Structure 1
Amino acid sequence: MSTRALYQEPCAFAGFPLDPADHLRSDAKWIGERLGDPGSLFLVFHKMKPLMDVSDRTNPVPGFLDRAQIPDQAMETAVFLGLLEETAIFAVDLGESIAEGEATGNGVKFIDLRSVALQLFEEEFSPLPALLGKAKSLLDWHARHGCCAVCGAATEISTAGYLRECPSCKAQHFPRTDPVVIMLVHRGDRMLIGRSPGWPKGNYSALAGFVEPGETIEEACRREVKEETGIEIGRVDYIKSQPWPFPSSLMIGLFAEAETEDIRLDEKELEEARWINRAQAKMLLLTGGSEDIRLTPFHIAIARHLIEKWVDMEE
């Protein structure tokens, strides 16, 4: 069991550390000046991996570049992240404008964001994953939405990266976030855990699923649990949420009280589900479990927060 009381901290990818300065996004003159300002800093991505300075391996930090180091072609992807005091911070995707090796070396390299977050969040809460996560989500959305969903024409970036406009049909497209319910299902002194097909043997976690159009959070929770396990859910309590930039979801963490116990598994959704009691869950967290059963959410996942919070509660 974590000695950090992890669930009392914000989740990884929460706690955005900049002033979003959203009132400046539509000021094209101000944004243009900041893009050309040698004092502005650019968070650089390549294949959706952030450039990180790992010269101090115990304290990796984003490998910010200034305007002179950014190829002109990459500047077309620039999105405004916010202000660090008076310094404007942008994110850019190098794409094909540069070979990966040209921006690495001397202690900097492109690293998968999950790996970065795991290291930054290992000992204590860090706001840096929130900065990196927002940048990745925005850049990924632009990379996926270059054409208008209404008429198919090429769209153009606008409002400092928070809008794409279609010059043909004038439709406006905004960055997308997909809501996901993730729920700790409990009944008395027991919690329900499941494992998806394809997971390593013995790995279990909380249940989760996407919210469908026209659903409330509570309705989505009840539907997903019933679909996957056949268990009826009554009371649903909101606990906390987490931005999850893979590619861009909002994880909505819930406690869901089960009204039934018999599991009727949908094997397309889950390979297995089972009930465990609070003492078993605590022991699995303390020991790491065995080949047959492990509670596997990493400390950067909201599922870990939900499980630890429930384990620490009085029955």
Structure 2
Amino acid sequence: MTGRSPPALTGFAFAGETLDRADALRDDAGALARLWPAARVMLLDAEGRALADAEGNLSAPTGAELGGGPGTGLFLGLKDGTAWFAAQAAHVAWQAPAQIDLRRAAAAWPAFESGVFAMARALLHWQSSTKFCSACGGDITFRRAGYIAHCTRCGKDHYPRVDPAVIVAVSDGERLLLGRQASWPARRYSVIAGFVEPGETLEQTVAREVREETQVRVRQCRYLGAQPWPFPGALMLGFSAEGEPDAPQVDGELEDARWFTFAEIDAALVREGNDDGEGLLLSPSISIARSLIEHWHAGMRTRAA
């Protein structure tokens, strides 16, 4: 063992260059109106897809091209002095030849554009699903450039929701624990994940989720990084963990769970992009799940060097 550390957890989507969210501007209607003509406006359809040109590139008109002012547009932030907004495509008079979903955009677009798309999709989904006050059933009006849902009856304010979830690469020192859901493509396995419950620390969630889904006991874990995952509004908190070499058992949430050797993971990474119909398939490259697998693989390679 050389003592060298594996590379940092990188490579997944939605965690790179981002906007200055410019919180103070959300209360300044005059400033937003002045920014509007030169602003870029990301338009999403009812399915959460962004408008795109014929080649699949982002089609984000300026405010001047759309006309009018910010109105009900959702202010996202600033990039090099240019404001970015999001709006429902059905609410504006703008046509584009194509639409692109977020997963395809994450794989094809520059990191900044796909990150803005992720932010826009999560916030617009929250707006569309927040029709009435959860406290009294009153009507909602949006304030602060789209960031507060205000009840017109009881006055309660509702804020955008983010659901924290852990995602963890569990190793027994030689093998990596992966599971699969029945709805996934054949042969695809991934690391274990689950939502944080009230009253839990993240470390407690890691141990509980792994035990519930696979019956494998976790000894200890370490936080590595996070990924916004707007499908529709999760924040994936990535961990590595040391687990007991228990035989995995599933109870229905997962279809299967198995320990995989370094050789099996290595072969799956080599096979990437040239699938021969045999062997393990891994999580897509845009996900923190894939980065966790690659991080474990790199650590095992470093240990063997």
TM-score, normalised with respect to structure 2: 0.88
Offset, 1:216: 0.9
Distance in 1 (alpha carbons) for counterparts of 2:96 and 2:219: 53
Determine whether 1:115 maps to 2:115.
Answer: no
1:79-128 deviations in Å (ceiling 9; x for gaps): 11111222221111123656xxx6123xxx2211111111236xxxx222
Q: What SS class does the counterpart of residue 204 from structure 1 fall into?
A: coil
Structure 2 residue aligned with 1:256: 241
CA contact (8 A) 1:71 1:97 kept: no
Structure 2 residue aligned with 1:235: 220
Offset, 1:212: 1.0
Equivalent in 148, 152, 168 of residue 163 of structure 1: 148
CA contact (8 A) 1:226 1:232 kept: yes
Distance in 1 (alpha carbons) for counterparts of 2:11 and 2:23: 23
Distance in 2 (alpha carbons) for counterparts of 1:272 and 1:312: 25
Distance in 2 (alpha carbons) for counterparts of 1:86 and 1:242: 26
Q: What SS class does the counterpart of residue 234 from structure 1 fall into?
A: strand
Matched residue type, 1:110: Q
Offset, 1:32: 4.1
Offset, 1:70: 3.6
Q: What SS class does the counterpart of residue 253 from structure 2 fall into?
A: coil
Structure 2 residue aligned with 1:246: 231
CA contact (8 A) 1:231 1:259 kept: yes
CA contact (8 A) 1:231 1:263 kept: yes
Gaps of 5+ in 2: 1-5
Cα gap change, 1:97/1:84 in structure 2, threshold over 3 Å: closer, same or farther?
closer
Structure 2 residue aligned with 1:90: 85
Cα gap change, 1:211/1:202 in structure 2, threshold over 3 Å: closer, same or farther?
same
Alignment of 1:42-81 (within 5 A): 42-47=41-46, 48-55=48-55, 60=57, 62-70=58-66, 77-81=72-76
1:244-285 deviations in Å (ceiling 9; x for gaps): 11111101111111024122221x211111111112211121
CA contact (8 A) 2:11 2:291 kept: no
Structure 1 residue aligned with 2:261: 277
Determine whether 1:103 maps to 2:95.
Answer: yes
Cα gap change, 1:263/1:10 in structure 2, threshold over 3 Å: closer, same or farther?
closer
Structure 2 residue aligned with 1:309: 295
Distance in 1 (alpha carbons) for counterparts of 2:75 and 2:144: 9
Equivalent in 143, 158, 164 of residue 173 of structure 1: 158
Matched residue type, 1:52: A
Offset, 1:52: 2.3
Q: What SS class does the counterpart of residue 134 from structure 2 fall into?
A: coil
Structure 1 residue aligned with 2:26: 25
Matched residue type, 1:40: A
How many residues align? The count is 293
Offset, 1:210: 0.9
170-179 or 41-50, larger mean C-alpha shift = 41-50
Query: What is the root-mean-square deviation of aligned Cα atoms in Å?
Result: 2.3
Distance in 2 (alpha carbons) for counterparts of 1:273 and 1:173: 39
Distance in 2 (alpha carbons) for counterparts of 1:158 and 1:218: 36
Offset, 1:7: 5.8
Distance in 1 (alpha carbons) for counterparts of 2:136 and 2:71: 23
Structure 1 residue aligned with 2:3: none
Determine whether 1:13 maps to 2:9.
Answer: no
Matched residue type, 1:18: L
